[in-house]
C-alpha cells in the first residue's frame, strides 16, 4: 500500500531577459514552467506560488528585481523555504550576481534548487569557493585602487592650488589667530624671537586655543606662521 508522503512546499521563480520572449504562448515561459513542474512532481515538492521577472537581465542584482523582491516578501511569513528555478542562469547569468544572490538566500535559510542541476547550489564545491575568493580579492583590489586614485588626485590638487579640499586651515577658520601668532613670532628690534612654545603659551593667555580647548602645539604654530 502506497503511503501519502507530505510534499515540501516551494515557489517557482521564472526570468526572461528579452521582452520578445514574454508571454504564456512563448517558448521560454512554457519551457521554464514545464521543467520546474516536472522536477517538483518527481521530487516531492508542492508549488504554492510562482514569481516572474519579465524582461529582466540576468546580470541585475536580485535586490533590484521586482518579481524576486515580491517573492522574498511573500515567503518571509508563510514558512516556505525552497525556491525552484529551471536552471542556474535563470536565477542569474552573471557569476558574481549568482554567487552573491545565493549567499544572501542561504543567510535567510532559503534553499535554491535548479531543476536542471539540483546540487548546483547545495554543494559548496571547491570551484565555488575559489570563485568567491577571487571575487573578494578583486573587490579588495578595486577598493585599494580607488583609494590610491583619490590620494593621487588630492596630491595633484595640492600642487595646483596649494591646499586639499577637506579640513579648513586656521587662516580660514580664524584669520585673527594666525595674524596674532605671526605678530608674536616676529623678531623684536633687539633681535629677540619667541619660540614656538612661547607663542603658543602667549596665545593661550590671550584666549586662543585649539578645537579641544587646549594650548596649540608647536607644530600647529609653525604651520600658522609659515602660511
- Find the DSSP H helices in 47-195: 66-75, 88-91, 95-107, 126-161, 170-173, 175-185
The predicted structure's pLDDT at residue 148: 86
Q: pLDDT band at 212, cuts 50/70/90?
A: confident
Which domains, and CATH codes, for the chain?
8-127 (3.40.50.1390), 170-226 (no CATH)
The answer to whether the beta carbons of residues 106 and 127 sit under 8 Å apart is no
How many Å apart are CA 39 and CA 35, to the nearest integer? 6
Strand order in the sheet with 45-54: 45-54, 8-16, 82-85, 111-114
% of residues, the chain, pLDDT over 90: 30
The predicted structure's pLDDT at residue 25: 64
The answer to whether the beta carbons of residues 139 and 100 sit under 8 Å apart is no
- Judged against a pLDDT cut of 90, whether residue 2 lies above it is answered with no
Instruction: Name the average pLDDT for the chain.
Output: 84
- Judged against a pLDDT cut of 90, whether residue 142 lies above it is answered with no
- Judged against a pLDDT cut of 80, whether residue 166 lies above it is answered with no
Coil vs helix vs strand at 8: strand
pLDDT tens profile 21-69: 666 666 888 999 999 999 999 999 999 999 999 989 888 999 899 999 9
Amino acid at each position: 500500500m502506497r503511503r501519502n508522503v507530505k510534499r515540501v512546499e516551494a515557489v517557482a521563480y521564472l526570468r526572461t531577459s528579452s521582452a520578445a520572449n514574454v508571454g504564456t504562448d512563448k517558448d521560454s515561459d512554457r519551457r521554464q514552467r514545464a521543467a520546474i513542474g516536472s522536477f517538483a512532481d518527481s521530487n516531492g515538492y508542492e508549488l504554492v506560488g510562482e514569481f516572474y521577472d519579465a524582461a529582466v537581465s540576468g546580470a541585475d542584482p536580485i535586490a533590484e528585481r521586482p518579481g524576486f523582491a515580491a517573492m522574498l516578501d511573500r515567503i518571509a511569513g508563510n514558512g516556505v523555504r525552497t525556491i525552484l528555478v529551471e536552471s542556474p542562469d535563470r536565477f542569474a547569468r552573471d557569476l558574481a550576481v549568482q554567487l552573491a544572490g545565493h549567499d544572501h538566500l542561504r543567510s535567510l535559510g532559503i534553499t535554491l534548487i535548479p531543476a536542471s542541476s539540483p546540487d548546483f547550489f547545495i554543494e559548496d564545491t571547491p570551484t565555488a569557493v575559489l570563485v568567491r575568493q577571487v571575487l573578494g580579492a578583486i573587490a579588495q583590489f578595486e577598493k585599494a585602487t580607488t583609494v590610491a586614485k583619490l590620494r593621487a588626485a588630492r596630491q595633484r590638487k595640492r600642487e595646483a592650488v596649494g591646499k586639499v579640499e577637506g579640513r579648513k586651515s586656521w587662516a580660514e577658520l580664524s584669520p585673527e589667530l594666525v595674524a596674532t601668532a605671526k605678530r608674536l613670532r616676529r623678531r623684536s628690534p633687539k633681535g629677540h624671537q619667541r619660540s614656538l612654545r612661547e607663542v603658543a603659551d602667549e596665545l593661550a593667555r590671550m584666549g586662543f586655543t585649539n578645537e579641544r580647548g587646549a594650548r596649540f602645539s608647536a607644530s600647529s604654530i609653525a604651520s600658522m606662521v609659515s602660511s
